[in-house]
Amino acid sequence: MSESIYTCHQKIIDEKFDFIDQWLPARYTDSVNIFLKKESKDANYIRQVRMRKINDEKVTDALYKVSLVNKLQVEIGT
């Protein structure tokens, strides 16, 4: 039998947050708002999404992008 869609989706979300936890820089809220453009969010809300793993797809995607950029900068810098 195959995995349920929920289980597969939750696994992807967990992997995304693991990546964010590993690569997100110390100061990230301004960078997240750059990716969000017109829909910028309060810095406290962005931190809550990260720490409590709140299901806000746009903010989570922006956090992931900031983490990815940071990872690339770290790897290129070394």
So what's the pLDDT on residue 10? 84
| Total-model pTM | 0.87
Q: Does 55 have pLDDT greater than 90? A: no
pLDDT, residue 4, reads 74
Q: Which residue type sits at 48?
A: Q
DSSP assignment of 17-76 equals: HHHHHHH--SS-HHHHHHHHGGG---HHHHHHHHHHT---HHHHHHHHHHHHHHHHHHHH
The domain locations on the chain are 5-77
pLDDT in tens, 5-54: 678 888 888 999 999 999 999 999 999 999 999 899 999 999 999 999 99
pLDDT classification of 77: cutoffs 50, 70, 90: confident
- Rounded distance between C-alpha atoms, residue 56 and residue 68, angstroms: 18
Tokens representing 40 are 């910028």
Output the pLDDT for position 12.
Answer: 87
